[in-house]
Structure 1
Amino acid sequence: MPLLFTIAWYLLVGAAFLILGIPLIIITSGVILVRCAGAYLKASGQALGVRRPDASVPVPEPRDVPAHVHYLSGPAGRDLQQVALLTAQETKRQADLTRSWLKREFFQFSMSSYRKAVGVLVTVGTVGGAAISGLVMIFVALGALLVWGLLFVLGKSLLYLLRGVDSALSHLRGIKLTCPSCHHRVVYPAYDCPNPECTHRHEDVRPGRYGLLRRTCACGYRMPTLLVLGSHRMTAYCPHCHAAMASGAGTAREIVMPMLGATSAGKTRMMLALAETLLPRATPADVPTGNALAEMREALQVRGATRKTIAEDAVRAYSFNLTANRVRRLVHIYDPPGEDFSDSARLQARRFLRGAHAFVLVIDPFAIPDVWNSLDPATQQRYRAIRSAQPPSYIFEQVLDNLTGMGVRTADKALAVAVTKSDLTAGLPIGDGIDDDVRGWLRDRVGMANMVRSIEKSFGEVRYFHTTAVFDPGATDPNVHELLGWTLRRYGVN
């Protein structure tokens, strides 16, 4: 009987223990789960600098590139690492506190067995809650990594999509970029930060590691990353020579038009006449162009002559933003020194010849042997100082040989042949008939038949013009208007 009573007693105590213990274990597990969740949230806040800025991940100072890395390209990964580290530290701290509390409240030597039994239940609940919390945190960490990975992949996809759209739009519109100073083809220009208090220059602001739609400069200014988003409004620079590029570069098709001709043939005056013809519908695309035109106008009005183009000077394009009938073009006119055309090495170095769309061959009629020999000695003496040294046939062959050597398909190019100095040849017997048929005059009257045949065999489109060397800002030679109009119409400008 006592044995049965003892067994019944222990069964009753065990049942009560289980009935009370299971809820206690569940409650304890819930408390531990909540505390672990609190540890994670606290660590996240610290990592992001919400509560303890000193615990947040420091933002690296920009070094080689003066811009902040896009969040998904670096900071996000560092933040995840910091959250994991701080969560582990906070969880360890909570575990130490819980262990000390259990020992203090339930497992002192002098405590009763009932209290220790409750401590066992609480400990079981604590271990269970910790295990559940650990699994939950593993899933949270994996979820965070998955979300970050998906965002990273989406960001990269958007990056290449934006670049592709920007490049495709430029390609469809036939837009290319040429540096007016070093004449390199520019894939994408460098830009100065628009912040007037900042001096940073960004070599490539396209979507990438430093931003998708906007790039944040080291100074904090947010810059557009694509031409379609407005990057063309910033000051652009050539990444090769670091010279300023023409305003509007990258927003309109370019027309590259070099002047060809010997020294004293009249290339500079022809360039100025073309510029004056453009200006009612165009504006200088950069400061150097505006300054150079002003200097040449002043020189012509004061001295009657422009400054000689120095062979050693760098050849910078005269650039214009042209708008006509809702069509925009960026026109680059190059005026290389005449010495280039008697030196193949110098010609080969002129990169703008490779990218030219149309050429203007400027012919000095006094350099044609038949014309010069027809003049009496007094007339020869009068014009000797302004006569080109090399005959036009030699200049053309030099140009053609070098263009062929550069791999330029001249059959795809247009050539305007301009016989200049019409004001000086007017009244000379040898000049009879030139205004009616410039081509026929060159071919049949002055012995340039071989050159005419070579020109028409080599170039896809050719037209001949007779122009004057007189500069009058208010009345440009109509033939110059015709020459420019013929050239521009080929590229969609009417």
Structure 2
Amino acid sequence: MPQLILIILAIVLAIWLVWLALALLVRAVALILVGWILLFFGGIVGGVVRGVFLPPSVLAGRTEETPAIATPDAVVEGRVLGKAPRGHAKYLGWDRAWPVYIPHQARRDADAVLAAGKRIGLSSLASIFGWWVTGVVFFPAQIGFALGLWASVLTWYLVMGVLGALVLVGQAAGVLAYRWYDHLVRRSIGADLRCVSCYRVTVVPSYRCPGRSCTTIHNDVRPGPLGIVHRQCGCGTRIPATVGRAAARLVTVCPFCDTDAPDGSGTRQVLPLPVIGAVSAGKSQFLTSGVVELRDRARSVSGSLTPISPVAEDFLKTSRASVFSGRRVGKTAWEDRPEGIPLVLSLGGTDIEMQIMDAAGENFVGWERSQSLGYIDTASTLLFVLDPLALPEVKEQLRRAGEEDTVPLAQGDQEGAYAAVVDRLRAEGVALGPKHLCVVLTKLDVLRRIPGTVDALDPGNGASVKEWLRAHGGHRLVRRINGDFRNVDYYTVDSLGSREGTDPSHPVQVLDRALRVADRRMAVLPEPETAPAGEARNA
């Protein structure tokens, strides 16, 4: 019996010991589990905190991962905005400037943050297998840290993505509105850049960077991926974005030939006035007298006529000297591509840039010579200067009157000079219908000295001038002009002597008519009391 009791006590003791061991084991496991849970959540908190401070650390360059920089050179090489821009600058490439932060640099920054988060998270997980003791003990913390870090980084990435998308939409709307505002303002006044050297036309001029020792030419300063309100050149200089603001501060450049253009080019309407005519037809004398009077008339109505290039300054200075002295100007020297004479006429707060293109008569002896005068193709008004003294019938009367040596006569075929331009334009598909032609008979002062020649000629009536030309050997030319152009005015002018601009034979009448056609507000002479000039002169 005592043995049975001992056996029972031993069994009870063994059971109690087993139960106690199991209880201790369960308690230990519970403590471990609680510790692991605390470590896990602590790791999550640590990962989240690390993730919060990770983006600024990456952007500050304190991590292994550094963002790729969208540099101006990378922009030019096509590694930021693509291989080539669309539209105007397609063949010019991207300007050397810093792109806007969103989305170009922001995307690179975000990629660097993601790379850093991936590296740190994987490093945390890999450390579990580095040391088996610490790995077994602290692996929940490592896992929690990685999960917290990635959750934090991905949340940051998502928030930045949403905010970036909103900013991007706002930027796109701003770019569109600002670009169209600048475009519509300039379009409302017909502003463009017409290069006086290469004769090309564009509504988007280029500009030289004003930075010291910087040679960058910005070919498209309009709002876009390189800046909305302003842009930053690769040299660090800030320049305005929009043609209107850039023209007020920067040197304008022709995007086709890189020639510097006059200040303000591209922000005002340009009226090209190409003069066509044979050698010694009187083109330069006609322009000299007309421009000097135009300047005086502008001043009389509180306006101004300002030369905006060295060539224009010399022309105006020489013209004034010639008019005041009463001398005839010398023959224009022949150049294959003569430079234009830009003058800005300002009246009542409105500006218009007149570009007088006075090519020598040798440029109109055939198609080949006139092909280099590309400005004629885009001009809306053409001035055809005709020497009436060189018409065969009048030339004989001039000889009989003994006046043949008083003035040089036009040389060559005057109708051929007209054809050299008009036939080329037709062959190249240029529409003549919309263009306006002013036929200008010069040397009226000499013509008046020939008895009986100008009895029926009224300088103030275009129909009279037209009929006089038809009756004195120009009938074939008149017929051809009528077939080529719908809008034709006829004038006869006296380019010598001092007279009021209101005199119908003054050359300024022709310039005033050209200005009226371009913009009636730019007229410098009183409004005709009779029928409109175009109707009367086209009769």
TM value normalised by structure 2 = 0.76
Given candidates 126, 131, 137, the residue that maps to 2:147 is 131
Distance 1:306 1:218, change over 3 A: farther
Structure 2 portions without partners, runs of 5+: 1-11, 77-94, 299-303, 522-539
- Root-mean-square deviation over aligned CA pairs: 3.5
Is the CA contact (8 Å cut-off) linking 1:269 and 1:471 kept in structure 2? no
Gapped runs of 5+ residues in structure 1?
108-118
1:440 aligns with 2:454: no
Tell me whether 1:85 sits opposite 2:135 in the alignment: no
Aligned to 1:199: 215
**1:455 matched to which residue of 2?**
481
Question: Contact 1:46 / 1:55 at 8 angstroms: preserved in 2?
Answer: no
1:274 alignment partner in structure 2: 290
CA contact (8 A) 1:420 1:467 kept: yes
Report 1:4-23 matches (<5 A). Answer: 5-6=16-17, 9=20, 12-13=23-24, 16-17=27-28, 20=31
* Contact 2:65–2:115 (CA under 8 A) maintained in structure 1: no
For residue 416 of structure 2, the aligned residue among 381, 390, 394 is 394
Structure 1 CA distance, aligned partners of 2:58 and 2:480?
75
Whole-angstrom CA distance in 2 between matches of 1:477 and 1:346? 37
Give the counterpart of 1:189 among 193, 205, 225.
205
Alignment of 1:363-402 (within 5 A): 363-376=386-399, 379-383=402-406, 386-402=408-424
2:98 to 59, 68, 93: 68
Pair 51,393 (structure 1): closer, same or farther in 2 beyond 3 Å: same
In structure 2, give the amino acid aligned to 1:86.
A
Name the residue aligned to 1:414.
Answer: 436
Q: Deviations over 1:62-91 (max 9, x none)?
A: 375432233235322322232233334444
Q: Deviations over 1:196-228 (max 9, x none)?
A: 553322222233442233221122111122125
Q: Deviations over 1:116-147 (max 9, x none)?
A: xxx74x53344234334334434444554555
Query: Quick one: structure 1 residues 143 and 14, their matched pair in 2 at CA, closer, same or farther if it must change by over 3 Å?
Result: farther
- Measured in 2, the distance between the counterparts of 1:146 and 1:483 equals 63
2:364 to 321, 327, 341: 341
> Is the Cα–Cα contact under 8 Å of residues 225 and 231 in structure 1 kept in the other structure?
no
Cα distance, 1:321–1:2 mapped onto 2, change above 3 Å: farther
Shift of 1:450: 2.8
- 1:310 alignment partner in structure 2: 333
Of 306, 309, 316, the residue aligned with 1:283 is 306
1:24-83 Cα distance to aligned partner (Å, 9 max, x none): 444423432343344445542343237689956556463754322332353223222322
User: In the alignment, is the contact (CA less than 8 A) between 1:433 and 1:441 conserved in 2?
Assistant: yes
Once the two structures are superposed, the pairs formed by residues 162-311 of structure 1 within 5 Å of their partners are: 162-196=178-212, 198-231=214-247, 233-279=249-295, 280=298, 281-298=304-321, 304-311=327-334
**Cα deviation digits, residues 172-193 of structure 1 (max 9, x gap):** 5433332121111224211011
1:77 counterpart letter in structure 2: R
The CA deviation at 1:476 is 5.4
Shift of 1:352: 1.1
Q: State the distance in 1 between where 2:324 and 2:282 align.
A: 16
Instruction: Give the aligned length.
Output: 477
Question: Percent sequence identity over matched residues?
Answer: 24
Q: Structure 1 residues 135, 425: CA separation in 2 closer, same or farther (over 3 Å shift)?
A: same
TM-score, normalised relative to structure 1: 0.83
Distance between the aligned counterparts of 2:64 and 2:344, measured in 1? 51
Q: Distance in 2 between matches of 1:161 and 1:132?
A: 43
**2:494 corresponds to 1:468:** yes
Distance in 1 between the 2:373 and 2:52 partners? 64
Within 1, Cα distance between the matches of 2:422 and 2:435? Answer: 12
2:524 aligns with none
Matched, 1:45 2:61: no
